[in-house]
Amino acid sequence: MVFTSKEYLVFFLLCATGYFLLRWRFRWILILLASYAFYAAGEAQHLVLLMAVSLATYFAGLLLDRMRDGPARATVLTVAIVALLAPLFIYKYLGFVLQSAQGFVVDGGQPASLGFSLLLPLGISFFTFQALGYLIDIYRHDCGAERHPGILALYIAFFPQLIAGPIERARGLLPQFRRHARLEPDTLVSGGRLILWGAFKKLVIADNLSPYVDTVYAAPTAHTGLTLLIATVFFAFQIYCDFSAYVDIGRGCARILGINLMRNFDRPYGARSIAEFWRRWHISLTSWFRDYVYVSLGGNRRGLAVKSRNVAIVFLLSGLWHGANWTFVVWGGLHGLALIVLLWTAELRTRVICASSLDRLPLLHDILCVGATFGFVCFAWIFFRATSLDDAFYVATHLFTGIAQQMADGRAVAALIADSGGSPDGFLALMLAIAALLASQILTDDAIRRWLDRRARWQRWGVDYALALGLLFLAGNSDAFIYFRF
């Protein structure tokens, strides 16, 4: 059930109506049943897996909470982690491992075929990591075990964030399921605006960018220069609008129900460094790897060399988390390498900035940093989007081939529009939508809210009307969200 579908709209309206008609102590039952129905609508065959993960997490949490610190408690945590990771490995990575190994297995003088493929359960990477974080928090005494099996199951399966996050922490989300929430006008308006903004980003921007990106990346060797560059930059905006749209719609729905989910994106393309980019992009995943992997490896405590090693491990794992393909490993490795280079060159960069007087021109310095960071992020996205390493390397090495001539005659862009089934007017409207997105990113959310609060009512609502009209007239063909299979 896709968030932007009519079926989901009816589902949520019925769910929210029943939620506020019920007494608060029974609401968890409705939301848990609704969450299971939501998941079953997409993949009923994997609902048992979701329930099994919830049960295993519940009993493991109780056991860890009752045990004293020592080797036995560490063993229980290890067994629980392996048990929770086993389905994720089998569904997501076993085929990748076998495919990677088949070149080393010889059968009659030829590489053996070790093909293996299973349909990846929706959201398995998200609800598995949420369950793991809960158990590790109990082990570290950062939270106690949840005694109510239904509330714990709801924590694992809460439908607004089940499929694509954010990956919530137990101490932040669990207490909210016991809160006596009322239907407040302010939360209804703010939640509705999040849903509207998310739908606009998905349907007007991401879905209209998709044909251009798909046309080029389906056959990258048929393109050079400008069209490769346009498709790569378009993908940067497509994946941001697609992923953040899902989170915004989910957060908006949860907010209407009185549940606050964490913010997962904070204007990432305004970051001035790769480190800052990862503090703004997929915040829940970045903080998860920081708290449960990076810190466990030693974090910053053992010198620059060990810190660099830990960064490399975290980002290689992050790449694998995103997909069982070597392209994702390279994507994660590129980001890790960039962070390591920045660590080792910190003093040198400071001296260069001072010698060039950029420290006296902070605005110019920020613009250069944002541009360089965005350029690197777009380059790395090539490996995320390409279907193979060969395609990725082709795009990376032909981004600027003949670009000056292509920009002069304009035929490359016209051909791309025609091949993608678009029109010049539609292309222009898409550029204006992206410009509106960038304008909204320049201002912080607090600044926008303060500005709107000072306007007349018709002006405050004018933005919402404009977004609604954009949805009505500019919405593209709704595609499944990119992160549905992660």
Catalytic residue IDs: 322
Q: Helix (H, G, I), strand (E, B), or coil: what is residue 369? A: helix
For tokens 């909204």, name the residue. 440
67 vs 147, 253, 371, CA distance in Å?
15, 38, 52
Residue 86: C-alpha distances to residues 56, 90, 128, 221, 352 (Å)? 12, 6, 10, 38, 49
Identity (one letter) of the amino acid at 435? A
**Dihedral, CA of residue 36, residue 38, residue 40 and residue 42, to nearest 10:** -150
Q: Dihedrals φ, ψ of 72, to 5°?
A: -65, -40
Beta carbons within 8 Å of 305's beta carbon, 6+ residues apart: none
472, containing H or E segment: helix 457-474
Q: CA 437 to CA 209: how far, in whole Å?
A: 13
Residue 362, H or E segment: helix 362-385
- Give DSSP secondary structure letters for 87-151: HHIIIIIHHHHHHHHGGG-EETTEEPP-----PPPTTHHHHHHHHHHHHHHHHTTSSPPP--HHH
Give Rg (Cα) of the chain.
24
**What is the end-to-end Cα distance of the chain in Å, rounded?**
16
In whole angstroms, give the CA distance from residue 59 to residue 424. Answer: 59
